[in-house]
Structure 1
């Protein structure tokens, strides 16, 4: 028969090991909790900053784009076309698309894959879909025509 003191010592050793294991786990949880609290703090600050920026009134009133715009800016918004507006107000990539659509090859209309090849781009889905988006934006703003679904051309230029 085991002695009572021996049993108590064995039990005490097991409890000490359990306490050590729980302390290690608590330290790990504290580290994860600290990282999560840091992420939460950054998100709260980002949301507050965005709300602050959105609440500010615009610093300058934008004027409508006219034919007298000095030059095109890459990535700029495509302006609505008015009668005297030249293609030079468009971003360079949109100007290139229009020049291809105005060429002999584009007179009957071009699909976006054909347009990509004509612009010297790889006819991969990412490039083709990017061109499709730009071509549709040009149609919406009066710079191009969609003669059939997915087929784009330049509008007929008025006689001057």
Structure 2
């Protein structure tokens, strides 16, 4: 028969191992809790900052500059808006379309050559995209599929 002291020692060893396992688990849970609390703090701060920014009066928001900026979005043409409102690339395309050669309509390959670009597919497709954007925003016309021209200027 096993001695009482031997049984107690075995039981004590088992409980010590359980305590060590639980401490490791508690440390892991504490680390996860700390990470979650940190994430929550960042989200609360972000929400407070956004609410603060949105609460500012509209006059505090600065309007973007109206000058032409390379890579800028093409604005919708309204009334007497000048081509100088367009980015330089779009101004060049429009000037070629407004020229004598462009009045009858130009395909994008012809447009590429007129702009001094190589008539390779990448350049032609880029011009096609820009020309279509000019059409969508009222700066140019597509007279036939793939053929673009400048809109007629009304006589004064």
What TM-score results when the alignment is normalised by the length of structure 1?
0.61
Query: Which has the larger Rg?
Result: 2
The alignment covers a number of residue pairs equal to 156
Greater displacement, 36-45 / 149-158: 149-158
SS in 1 for 2:116: coil
Closer/same/farther in 2, CA of residues 48 and 144 from structure 1, 3 Å limit: farther
Give the structure with the larger helix fraction: 2
Say whether the 8 Å CA contact 1:80–1:142 is kept in structure 2: yes
Which ranges in structure 2 are unaligned for 5 or more consecutive residues?
none
Closer/same/farther in 2, CA of residues 11 and 138 from structure 1, 3 Å limit: farther
Describe the superposition over 1:55-109 as per-residue Cα deviations: whole angstroms up to 9, x where unpaired: 211226889999xxxx312454533313432222112354356467668998898
Closer/same/farther in 2, CA of residues 29 and 89 from structure 1, 3 Å limit: same
Per the TM alignment, residue 49 of structure 1 is displaced from its structure 2 partner at its CA by 0.8
Per the TM alignment, residue 52 of structure 1 is displaced from its structure 2 partner at its CA by 1.3
What TM-score results when the alignment is normalised by the length of structure 2?
0.62
Describe the superposition over 1:1-55 as per-residue Cα deviations: whole angstroms up to 9, x where unpaired: 2222212211211111111121112112111211111111111111111111112
Say whether the 8 Å CA contact 1:101–1:152 is kept in structure 2: yes
Residues of 1 paired with 2:11 and 2:106: CA distance? 84
Per the TM alignment, residue 152 of structure 1 is displaced from its structure 2 partner at its CA by 6.4
> Which position in structure 2 is the counterpart of 1:39?
39
Which ranges in structure 1 are unaligned for 5 or more consecutive residues?
none
Residues of 1 paired with 2:90 and 2:70: CA distance? 9
Closer/same/farther in 2, CA of residues 8 and 65 from structure 1, 3 Å limit: closer
